[in-house]
């Protein structure tokens, strides 16, 4: 392969598979390996940890089995820098438009639902291999509408978080507990919990760590500043009574 570029070999498309689940990887190897137009050059359980493998095999496409939305978006962002000539295609649970939007922004070339027919996956690989982007009809419509209405798709917040929800997410990323957040915002702890439930639903996460990862990921891309550390008051010193003779 000349020039160290990741494209095709003998008319076949070189693909590397990433999944922490061995049965998924081997199933994909069997499925895709039957196609004359595809050659599987690697199957690994970790994308970032297998950088040397990808640098050696130079796949045209990296097919990634997504299991953790926040972590997977961070992985995509890093891989776009480490492997600029390799196209990234995500195999996901039924992706929401928000996740799909975030994935495309992070550098993926598309998302394929895991319940899709094998023919749909093969078609997505073909489309991405040609340098195009594979998106759902709903997301394509959404992007067209944004352009038609003059919306700035680069700076848009596809998560749909309100200013207050983003503010609470910033405190979560800083490591604040619900009671501490409530004290800072002068609201009840139950109000904070309600906001957090909405944030989790919009970001498709289930833990504070995943939400924090989303915050820092989106901060880098949208130019938002991470929250300044909150200074917690130290323990009050008790004054000792002085001796009458001192």
Instruction: Give pLDDT tens digits along the chain (246 positions).
Output: 333 344 455 568 999 999 999 999 999 999 998 998 899 999 999 999 999 999 999 999 999 999 888 888 889 988 988 998 999 999 998 667 778 888 888 889 999 999 889 999 999 999 999 888 888 777 777 666 655 554 444 444 556 788 888 889 988 888 888 999 999 999 999 999 999 988 988 887 777 877 877 787 776 555 555 444 444 444 444 444 444 444
Give the separation between CA 156 and CA 105, rounded to whole angstroms.
10
Burial 155-190, CB ≥16 within 10 A → b, else e? eeebbebeeebeebbbbbbbebebebbbeeeeeeee
Give the alpha-carbon dihedral of 89, 92, 97, 100, to 10 degrees: -30
Q: Cα separations (Å) of 158 from 107, 207, 237? A: 15, 20, 48
Give the separation between CA 10 and CA 53, rounded to whole angstroms.
21
Whole-model pTM: value is 0.58
* CA nearest to 88, candidates 74, 96, 98, 97: 74
Question: Phi and psi dihedrals of 176, rounded to 5?
Answer: -75, 145
Give the separation between CA 30 and CA 207, rounded to whole angstroms.
35
Question: Phi and psi dihedrals of 95, rounded to 5?
Answer: -75, 140
In the 8-state DSSP scheme, what is residue 36? T
234 three-state secondary structure: coil
Q: By the 8 A CB rule, do 95 and 111 touch?
A: yes
Q: What is the CA radius of gyration of the chain?
A: 23
Q: By the 8 A CB rule, do 15 and 125 touch?
A: yes
Q: Cα separations (Å) of 38 from 4, 32, 246? A: 19, 7, 89
């Amino acid at each position: 392969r000349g020039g160290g570029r990741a494209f095709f070999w003998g008319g076949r498309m070189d693909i590397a598979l990433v999944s922490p689940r061995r049965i998924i990887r081997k199933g994909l190897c069997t499925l895709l390996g039957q196609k004359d137009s595809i050659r599987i050059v690697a199957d690994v359980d970790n994308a970032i940890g297998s950088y040397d493998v990808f640098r050696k095999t130079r796949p045209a496409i990296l097919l990634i089995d997504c299991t953790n939305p926040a972590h997977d978006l961070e992985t995509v962002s890093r891989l776009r820098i480490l492997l600029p000539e390799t196209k990234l295609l995500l195999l996901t649970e039924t992706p929401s438009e928000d996740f799909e939007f975030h994935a495309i922004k992070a550098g993926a070339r598309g998302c394929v639902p895991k319940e899709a027919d094998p023919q749909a996956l093969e078609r997505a690989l073909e489309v991405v291999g040609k340098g195009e982007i594979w998106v759902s009809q709903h997301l394509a419509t959404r992007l067209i509408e944004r352009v038609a209405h003059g919306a700035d798709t680069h700076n848009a917040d596809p998560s749909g978080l309100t200013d207050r929800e983003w503010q609470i997410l910033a405190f979560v990323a800083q490591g604040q507990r619900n009671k501490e957040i409530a004290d800072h915002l002068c609201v009840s702890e139950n109000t904070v919990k309600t906001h957090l439930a909405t944030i989790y639903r919009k970001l498709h996460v289930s833990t504070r760590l995943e939400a924090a990862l989303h915050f820092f990921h989106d901060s880098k891309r949208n130019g938002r500043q991470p929250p300044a550390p909150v200074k917690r008051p130290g323990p009050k010193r008790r004054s000792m009574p002085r001796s009458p003779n001192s």
